[in-house]
Structure 1
Amino acid sequence: MINARIEHIETHFPDHVLSNADLCVTFPSWTPEKILAKTGISERRISAPNETSVDLGVKAAQKLLMKYPELMDEIDYLIFCSQTADHFLPTSACIIQDRLGLPKHIGAFDINQGCSGYVYSLAVAKGMIVGGIARKILLITADTYTKLINENDTSVRTLFGDGAAASVITASEGPQGIKDFVFGTNGAGANQLIVPAGGFRQRPTKDSAHEVRDEFGNTRSADQLFMDGSKIMMFGLGEVPKAIKALLTKAELDLEQIDHFIFHQASLLMLEKLIKKLKIDPNKAPLSLEYTGNTVSSTIPILLKSCIDDHRFETGDKLLLAGFGVGLSWAACIVEI
């Protein structure tokens, strides 16, 4: 029986570091310790003005290809998951194919998905492999949300960082690999995490660029990222436990049989509340956001790579991956090492 597994992961981050101490210059009522306690983040990486998600994704993939040069001839499909693409068109994955020097006979397309994007992309990759369409897929996730953030908006500036991950999803015949999935969507909450202007529904204008200060003292324009933090928190704590229960039922597993919970690294506060609500051992839910921030579509592969480097996983371990956020969208899956 053909299955699919995650074979390799590499990551890449911009050079510029924005520390909590740096943020406190702009937000003097905060302290570095207060930001760390609330978010779990000490610093986040910020892309340069001329550095895009495609640039970050290409560098992550180049690291992987330098380490495993045989992949140049083995990759037969490229998926790029991002919400901060270089252009409305063409497809960023096509640009990446050329910049990496991958063969012209491969397929390539983009997925516009955020916090749940890695799990969604795994589902697509597995479906293509099991369906015989591809045997080895290069999956790149990358986002540069910081380009969408007003520097005077504490509600999001303390949370988000930029980064990328490149994963290889390959066909396999063993029992291990990518297993069951569950998904969820509530588009009624789309305006809870949104950049209102910039697309074709609301084109950017002088009016959309006008900055407004909200009741909480945060400044932003319609061209910039808005997040209703309390509603996003309620959404995550409401939907993610239900999705995990549904996934475990589908996989015929108990919560105690999961060795590691690989959650989207939204914020420390969100993760602590989620872990408490699920009544799971915190040691089973590793964290990786302290030095990267919330990197949106890349938080899960970044965390996976950190756990792999720390030799945290053993053969036979069962991982539960769960992404949730912008959309509103959520997705979870089981991966057996």
Structure 2
Amino acid sequence: MPAAITAIGVHLPDRVLTNDDLTREFPEWTIEKIAGKTGIDSRHIAGDDEYTSDLAIGAVRALEQQHGVDLSTIDHLIVCTQTPDHLMPGVSSIVHGAAGLPSSCGTVDLALGCSGFVHGLGLASALLDAGQAARVLLVTADTYSRLLNPADRGVRTIFGDAATATLLEPAAQGRGAHAFVYGSEGAGAGALCVPRGGLRSGGLPMAAAPEQRGLRESRFDLYMDGPAVFDFTLRVVPPAVEQVLIKAQVERGAIDTWVFHQANRFMLGHLRRKLGIPEDRFLIDLADVGNTVSSTIPIVLARALGRGELTSGSRSMLLGFGVGLAWAGAVMAW
């Protein structure tokens, strides 16, 4: 019994960081250069007193108010985040209480990044298929802006903050998410990491230390080895696509829309050309939000659904890849 996406709520913080703002901080980078490399014009940034649970609750409220979802009917809540408010309790517990979900609703936090939405979709499908839940709420929420060193222009141009809330229910025959494929290369996890702020000191690549990057230490100082992440993506995504197609028993031409993690336009363009996917079937929608980590795929889906582009009977390939280094793919039959 696969999971069907019934509705998606999206919440973006009010504060906006534009390329014009960034060029004032980094005069050597023009607005055109930033947009040309990333495909991003602006990104939403959490306010000083706004944390991951606040964004998550905003997305749940958007789902409730815009789609008329009755939160008292939710059986299980999954919150995917890598920027929790606290070490404990989990963000799912905070969201559960603030949203007034029933005491019979299970909660779990999923500490995944760019592949998190598809991983969460797979977990929700398993809960539905096993009869452990009838309605699952999958929330993605991150405030990556709090992890970035203010002087690290490479990551500040890319990441934005956002949250989504997706209602998942049992799918009708021949519909829903299926053909899940997962993968990990944990040996490369240091290519995208946060060297500060955890319980353990050290254990990550020396290059991740801010002083090694010519930066004054901030609180967390997220590190990204861009070339390593790019090479990883180009190497693992094409075979992952083939594995999903084989598992789904469909030809590439039977996929109507391709929705990949919205890392940046440059990377997505390389992937599209390497896979030979027609441009009109390959959805890119990050110009005004940036890379929102686990929220990129559901934001694209929510906007495409709003435009009527995901019609009944069509199929989408969903593929997340990045932090971990991990990836996850599936087919969604609408």
Place the TM-score, normalised by the shorter chain, in its bin: over 0.9
For residues 267 and 183 of structure 1, the distance between their equivalents in structure 2, rounded to whole angstroms, comes to 22
Q: Partner residue of 1:308?
A: 305
* Structure-2 change in CA distance of 1:314 and 1:139 (3 Å): same
8 Å CA contact retained: 1:212, 1:221 = no
The amino acid across from 2:228 in the alignment is: K
Instruction: Give the distance between the partners of 2:171 and 2:229, measured in 1 at CA.
Output: 37
Is 2:274 the counterpart of 1:277? Answer: yes
Which residue is equivalent to 2:319?
322
Structure 2 residue 224 is matched with structure 1 residue 227: yes
Aligned-residue offset at 1:50: 1.3
Partner residue in 2 for 1:290: 287
Deviation at 1:213, TM superposition (A): 6.2
Give yes or no for contact 2:210–2:221 (8 Å, CA) kept in 1: no
Structure 1 portions without partners, runs of 5+: 204-209
Per-residue CA deviations over 1:246-275 (Å, capped at 9, x if unaligned) read 111111111111100000000011000000
Partner of 2:330: 333
Return the offset for 1:218: 6.1
Aligned to 1:334, the other structure's residue is in SS state strand
CA distance in 2, matches of 1:290, 1:202: 36
- Look up the SS of the partner of 2:29 in the other structure: coil
Q: Does 1:241 align with 2:275?
A: no
Overall identity of the aligned pairs, in %: 41
Aligned CA distance change for structure 1 residues 195 and 70 (closer, same or farther; 3 Å): closer
Deviation string, structure 1 residues 173-221 (Cα, Å, up to 9, x no partner)? 3211111110110011111000012112228xxxxxx95262xx66655
CA positional deviation for 1:3? 2.9
Mark the CA change 1:222 to 1:14 in structure 2 (over 3 Å): closer, same or farther.
Answer: closer
Q: Which residue of structure 1 lines up, in the alignment, with residue 188 of structure 2?
A: 189
* Residue of structure 1 in register with 2:151 after alignment: 152
Moved more, 233-242 or 221-230: 221-230
Deviation digits for residues 71-127 of structure 1, max 9, x if unmatched? Answer: 222111111000001111112111111100111111111000000000000000000
Q: Is the 8 A contact 1:12 1:57 kept in 2?
A: yes
TM superposition score normalised by structure 1: 0.94
Letter aligned with residue 334 of structure 1: V
Report what 2:258 is aligned to.
261
Q: How does 1:105-254 map to 2 (within 5 A)?
A: 105-202=104-201, 211-212=210-211, 214=213, 223-254=220-251
TM-score normalised by structure 2 residue count: 0.95
Runs of 4+ in structure 1 off by over 6 angstroms are none
Q: Which residue of 1 aligns with 2:206?
A: none
Deviates more, 1:62-71 or 1:255-264: 62-71
Conserved 8 A contact 2:78-2:92 = yes
Report the 3-state secondary structure (helix = DSSP H, G, I; strand = E; otherwise coil) of the residue aligned with 2:313: coil
Kept after mapping to 1: 8 A contact 2:182/2:329: yes
CA distance in 2, matches of 1:80, 1:243: 25
Q: Tell me the distance in 2 between the aligned counterparts of 1:59 and 1:241.
A: 35
Q: Which residue of 2 aligns with 1:45?
A: 44
Query: Structure 1 70/115 Cα, relative in aligned 2: closer, same or farther at 3 Å?
Result: closer
Structure 1 distance, partners of 2:69, 2:164, is 19
Distance 1:285 1:220, change over 3 A: farther
Q: Is residue 74 of structure 1 aligned with residue 73 of structure 2?
A: yes
Relative to structure 1, is the Cα distance of residues 228 and 135 closer, same or farther in structure 2, using a 3 angstrom cutoff?
A: same
Match in the other structure for 1:97: 96
1:255-300 per-position Cα deviation (integer Å, ceiling 9, x unaligned): 1111000000000110000001101101111111100000000000
- Count residues with an aligned counterpart: 329
What is the alpha-carbon root mean square deviation over aligned residues? 1.6
Cα distance in 2 for partners of 1:41, 1:70 equals 32
1:242/1:218 CA distance change after superposition, 3 Å: farther
Equivalent pair of 2:16/2:45 in contact (CA under 8 Å) = yes
